[in-house]
Amino acid sequence: MKKQSFIQGTLILLAAGIVNRILGFIPRITLPRIIGAEGVGIYQLGYPFLIVMITIITGGVPLAVSKLVAEAESRGDRARTYRILRAALLLTSTVGILLSIISLLLAPWITSHLLTDKRVYFTFLIMTPIIVLVAVSSVLRGYFQGKHNMIPTAVSQVTETIIRIIAVIACAYVLLPYGLEWAAAGAMLGTVIGELGGLSVLCYELYASRKRKRMEIASAVEQPALVLEQEVTSQTQRGVWRSMMRIALPVTGGKLVGSLSYLVESIAIARSLAVAGIATAVATAQYGALQGMIIPILLLPGALTYSLAVSLVPSLSEAYGRNDMKTIHKRLHQAIRLALVCGAPFAVVMFVLALPLCVLLYNDPAVAPMLRWMAPIAVFIYIQAPLQAALQALDRPGTALTNTLIGATLKLLLIIQLASMPALGIMGAVIAISVNTVIVTLLHAWSVIRSLKLKLPWLDFAKVAAAMVIMAGVVQYIYVHAPLGEGHALFRFIAGCLSGIVTYVSLLIVMKLVDRSDMSRVPIFGRWFSQKPTS
């Protein structure tokens, strides 16, 4: 498979990410309607533990695989590429199996002592196989990304999402008559089935690619040379392990801080809401609304930031290996500008139309205040991903770890202080999460600027901010004054969004935030912009 450029790889992952986010909202919308916010809360309560387990295994290994494979491929060292893959698969699968067994053994104690709702027990049991599945999948994705082939990652993600949608809804619906705890467990079973489907795609692609390579080697290389290569493999395996751990351990530490923070955050929120005098069932429902309904809306544009971050690592790693600072600055400017420009209109819509959006998606206007509060902070979420990827790709994972730790500590202190206040309750947790996002993003930005002497595009930030304000006014005006009557909320919502997007894109063009070269990279329509105008 021919490798893709940075922009091509980003667009491939972006297309897959957009499809995944859109499709992923089907169960996000349907599940609360089937099992309610309380059922979603039970489903979500076990996730923080799962994230911690997955982070221990996959926090830095896939990134290390991507980076090391990219470096080996740039030197044409195919043997080292395969050694890296084998070492990573052995490590993650072994640790994944051990952690799955530990999770099963500790499930009764965790669900009865650490969590505030014992009904999460069955969900916790069913989710443990995901640890091994994600461990192997993440390594394979890192391998293909290091080879600048983003297609297997994109196809596996779309496959996993489609299978998960069908399985989550079907399993939750079938098990609902047995109680909310079983319905939530059924939704988790659907997630396991989806992960298995995504892994199957990656395994098939790996088998197909290895088969093609073996055919090429068999026709071009003598058997003695192959024996020599195997001998070199046994001699240099230790070097592969050292290189992998040097990258993976600091990155895993940084991500582990974030996942442990998420775990402690879920426990702290539940405990703080109890201190505020909120009943367990209500607290579970509020937590489910925040983590299962509001956060997914905020992360919808994360398809772009994820694709940028994934494509950025091998691209920056290659440029860093050549000490090509010009390319590094160019790629970072592209990533930051794309994340900002594409994420900003989503933040505007979520802020201005928070109430109708929550009613249309979940038929629950009570969660709208949380979305409206967090919407302006969403822009920082979108910028944070490429900044963190840059620190990791440029051998600054320790800096990312420190920044994340500072933000996590501040967030937990604020949750304990604010969420336990009866006047704030769950809004205290919302405020704490928002402050954490802003602080960590600013710390990452400062670290990148200091390390690379990078000049951030402050003028672009100001232009985007101006476009957001104007777009917000247009969206509000059209939604309120559109002559469609009170019974046409959906049409007024669509009219407001479309008018705002048209206004926003027009302002981007007028302010020259996008130009012909940017538009020429857009799939399907790009060829019209790549043609030079005839005189």
The pLDDT of residue 31:
81
**Confidence class for position 273, pLDDT limits 50, 70, 90:** confident
Residues 347 and 423 in one domain: yes
The pLDDT of residue 305:
61
**Confidence class for position 309, pLDDT limits 50, 70, 90:** low
DSSP per residue, 310-353: HHHHHHHHHHHHTT-HHHHHHHHHHHHHHHHHHHHHHHHHHHHT
The pLDDT of residue 225:
44
pLDDT of residue 517 exceeding 60, the answer is no
Assigned domain for 473 exists: yes
pLDDT of residue 533 exceeding 70, the answer is no
Assigned domain for 446 exists: yes
**Confidence class for position 231, pLDDT limits 50, 70, 90:** very low
Residues 383 and 472 in one domain: no
Residues 534 and 467 in one domain: yes
pLDDT of residue 528 exceeding 60, the answer is no
| Inter-residue contact 104 to 113 (CB < 8 Å) | no
Q: Which domain holds residue 451?
A: 276-356+365-456
* Nearest to 472, CA basis, from 342, 343, 347: 347
Q: How many CB atoms lie within 10 A of CB 285?
A: 21
pLDDT of residue 351 exceeding 90, the answer is yes
Question: Which residue did the predictor score with more confidence, 50 or 13?
Answer: 50
Question: Which residue did the predictor score with more confidence, 334 or 470?
Answer: 470
Q: Coil, strand, or helix at residue 306?
A: helix
pLDDT of residue 296 exceeding 50, the answer is yes
Residues 315 and 414 in one domain: yes
44-48, 310-314, 370-374: range with highest mean pLDDT = 370-374
The pLDDT of residue 490:
82
Per-residue pLDDT, averaged over 86-109, amounts to 87
Assigned domain for 516 exists: yes
The pLDDT of residue 331:
75
User: What pTM does this model have?
Assistant: 0.65
Q: Of 456, 490, 521, which residue is a domain's last? A: 456
pLDDT of residue 472 exceeding 90, the answer is yes
Per-residue pLDDT, averaged over 396-417, amounts to 85
Assigned domain for 103 exists: no
**Confidence class for position 526, pLDDT limits 50, 70, 90:** very low
* Nearest to 139, CA basis, from 210, 86, 214: 86
Say how far apart CA 303 and CA 22 lie, in whole Å. Answer: 10
Q: Which residues contact 470 (CB under 8 A, 6 or more apart)?
A: 503, 504, 507
Write out the two tokens for 296. Answer: 């997914």
Residues 375 and 442 in one domain: yes
Residues 380 and 282 in one domain: yes
Q: Is 74 exposed, middle or buried (0-12, 13-18, 19+ CB in 10 A)?
A: middle
Structural domains counted in the chain: 2
Residues 465 and 452 in one domain: no
DSSP per residue, 146-172: HTT--HHHHHHHHHHHHHHHHHHHHHH
Q: Of 440, 456, 472, which residue is a domain's last? A: 456
Q: Of 438, 456, 474, which residue is a domain's last? A: 456
* Nearest to 171, CA basis, from 146, 148, 191, 151: 191
Residues 519 and 489 in one domain: yes
Handedness of CA 162, 291, 267, 280 (dihedral sign): negative
- In tens, the pLDDT along 149-168 reads 777 877 888 888 889 889 98
Say how far apart CA 337 and CA 332 lie, in whole Å. Answer: 8
Residues 300 and 441 in one domain: yes
Residues 443 and 343 in one domain: yes
Question: Which residue did the predictor score with more confidence, 87 or 444?
Answer: 444
Write out the two tokens for 64. Answer: 């290390």
| Inter-residue contact 117 to 280 (CB < 8 Å) | yes
Assigned domain for 89 exists: no
DSSP code of residue 512: T
Residues 377 and 487 in one domain: no
For residue 256, how many C-alpha atoms fall within 13 Å in the half-sphere facing its CB? 15
pLDDT of residue 144 exceeding 80, the answer is yes
Percentage, residues of the chain above pLDDT 70: 78
161-165, 180-184, 315-319, 506-510: the lowest-pLDDT one: 315-319
Residues 304 and 427 in one domain: yes
- In tens, the pLDDT along 192-229 reads 999 999 899 888 888 887 776 666 555 554 444 444 34
Assigned domain for 225 exists: no
Assigned domain for 52 exists: no
Assigned domain for 153 exists: no
Token pair 């692609």 is found at 205
